Amino acid sequence: MPDLFSPFSLRGVTLRNRIVMSPMTMYVAEDGCANDFHVMLYGSRAAGGFGLLFAEQMAITPDGRTSTSCGGLWKDEQIPSWRRVTALVKKMGGVAAVQLGHTGRKGSEHRPWEGGTQIAPDAPGGWPVSGPSPIPYGGHRTYPVHELTREEIHGLHKAYADAARRAVDAGFEWFEMHFAHGYLGASFFSPIANQRTDEYGGSLENRMRFHIEAIDAVRAVLPERFPLTMRLGCDDLNPAGIQFEDALVAAKVMKEHGIDLVDLSLGVNTDQITSVPFNVLGLMADRCAQMRRECGIATAASWNLGRPDVADRVIREEKMDLVLLGRPSLSNPHWPVWAARELGHASPFDQLPEDWAWWLRNLRAEPTCVGWPKPQNVPDPEAAPLDPNSGYLSIGNQG
């Protein structure tokens, strides 16, 4: 039976555990490039024991960003900056993952702490947004939406493939397509946002066409050993939108086109939501289990899995194969070690690089001396009392 700390293999890539740092837009990139902030963020979480680490969603075109401070791989000049990140992640024992996407109707925005409102297309920092149909998202996103032509859609598929090639060159080893959260892929999937009458709209088969062609374009340029996954919006929380049954159909088809794992999330293609389940622990666990069972495909999810007991349980019950953590990974860069200690793992520091873990396993008198809270009623198997006759142990710079 697998648990949270079991290795996981997909195609030619093996993760040291089932714990994933979820892709999160951080709004500090410079012209799509990573900087010291990203090296610090992802390097520290890799050193903290996360098995798979997603960089933020990478825009495949400049207008595919949420803001001008978002990451991207739409030009070769961005490759070296992200190579710095992937090299450090690999050195620390993690696997670097990239999420490719386009924000569609939800682009051209101020950063969240600056209001998060949509910027007019002719204002500084703004641009015209696009989608499958000329329908504004709603709420504060009311500016006109450009309806993509067939030729533009085909150009975006090429942009997906070009961005994937750059990501390979940048050292990423795990690839995900972002088809959720009201972004462009999710918009094509949803009848709320997609009211086209050509081959990209109408029936579910047609509304999946954008995704299938994008997947085919990316899979064609990836080395066979690299996994290709997708974050799929499986519910718009609106009766007129995406339903979970649609996602089951889509997963079966997209598996045939090379998708290896489905990262389930919400569609969020409208601000008219009929129910708000955002505080439910393990929100996507049962849906992951059903998709895993009915579609024969690996699954993953985020959404309220930051409690170690909950995260471990969904893996042990084989409801999903990977647990994605967003805010928990921001609040605790060593979440995997903390979770291992909370769950009574026999050797918590095994989640870390060996040249880091050795110092934490050895030369200490009491568990809390290394700065970790002592687990409730769980003995620490790594804690060995210091021999009182041994005298002071000189350990140089590690003292």
Classify residue 182: in a domain, yes or no.
yes
In 3D space, the residue among 326, 301, 282, 157 whose CA is nearest the CA of residue 229 turns out to be: 301
Q: Per the structure block, which two tokens stand in for 257?
A: 């086109």
Classify residue 380: in a domain, yes or no.
no
* Neighbour-count burial of 208, counting CB atoms closer than 10 A to its CB (0-12 exposed, 13-18 middle, 19+ buried): buried
Classify residue 368: in a domain, yes or no.
no
Q: Per the structure block, which two tokens stand in for 343?
A: 């769950």
Q: Is 373 helix (H, G, I), strand (E, B) or coil?
A: coil
Q: What pLDDT, on the 0 to 100 scale, is given for residue 377?
A: 54
Contact 14, 54 (CB under 8 A): no
Total domains in the chain come to: 1
Residue carrying structure tokens 């921001």: 330
Kind and range of the H or E run holding 228: strand 228-233
Q: What is the Cβ-side half-sphere exposure of residue 182, based on CA atoms within 13 angstroms?
A: 20
Classify residue 89: in a domain, yes or no.
yes
Q: Is 32 helix (H, G, I), strand (E, B) or coil?
A: coil
Round to whole Å and give the CA distance between 9 and 21: 17
Q: What pLDDT, on the 0 to 100 scale, is given for residue 359?
A: 86
Q: What pLDDT, on the 0 to 100 scale, is given for residue 387?
A: 40
Q: Which domain holds residue 306?
A: 8-352
Q: Per the structure block, which two tokens stand in for 52?
A: 């798979």
In 3D space, the residue among 69, 72, 95, 70 whose CA is nearest the CA of residue 82 turns out to be: 72
Q: Per the structure block, which two tokens stand in for 188?
A: 């094509």
Q: What pLDDT, on the 0 to 100 scale, is given for residue 130?
A: 98
**Backbone phi, psi, residue 13, to 5°:** -120, 130
Round to whole Å and give the CA distance between 70 and 84: 17
Classify residue 376: in a domain, yes or no.
no
Classify residue 270: in a domain, yes or no.
yes
* Neighbour-count burial of 296, counting CB atoms closer than 10 A to its CB (0-12 exposed, 13-18 middle, 19+ buried): exposed
Q: What pLDDT, on the 0 to 100 scale, is given for residue 376?
A: 57
Q: Which of 42, 137, 143, 183 is catalytic?
A: 183
Classify residue 378: in a domain, yes or no.
no
Round to whole Å and give the CA distance between 368 and 333: 18
Q: What pLDDT, on the 0 to 100 scale, is given for residue 385?
A: 43
CATH number where 296 lies: 3.20.20.70
Q: Catalytic residue at 143?
A: no
Round to whole Å and give the CA distance between 217 and 212: 9
Contact 27, 69 (CB under 8 A): yes
Classify residue 366: in a domain, yes or no.
no
Per-residue pLDDT of the chain (399 residues; tens, 9 = 90+): 899 999 999 999 999 999 999 999 999 999 999 999 999 999 999 999 999 999 999 999 999 999 999 999 999 999 999 999 999 999 999 999 999 999 999 999 999 999 999 999 999 999 999 999 999 998 889 999 999 999 999 999 999 999 999 999 999 999 999 999 999 999 999 999 999 999 999 999 999 999 999 999 999 999 999 999 999 999 999 999 999 999 999 999 999 999 999 999 999 898 888 877 778 888 899 999 999 999 999 999 998 999 999 999 999 999 999 999 999 999 999 999 999 989 999 888 999 989 889 888 887 666 666 676 665 555 554 544 434 343 323 333 333
Q: Per the structure block, which two tokens stand in for 303?
A: 């959404």
Q: What pLDDT, on the 0 to 100 scale, is given for residue 379?
A: 53
Round to whole Å and give the CA distance between 361 and 347: 9
Contact 18, 315 (CB under 8 A): yes
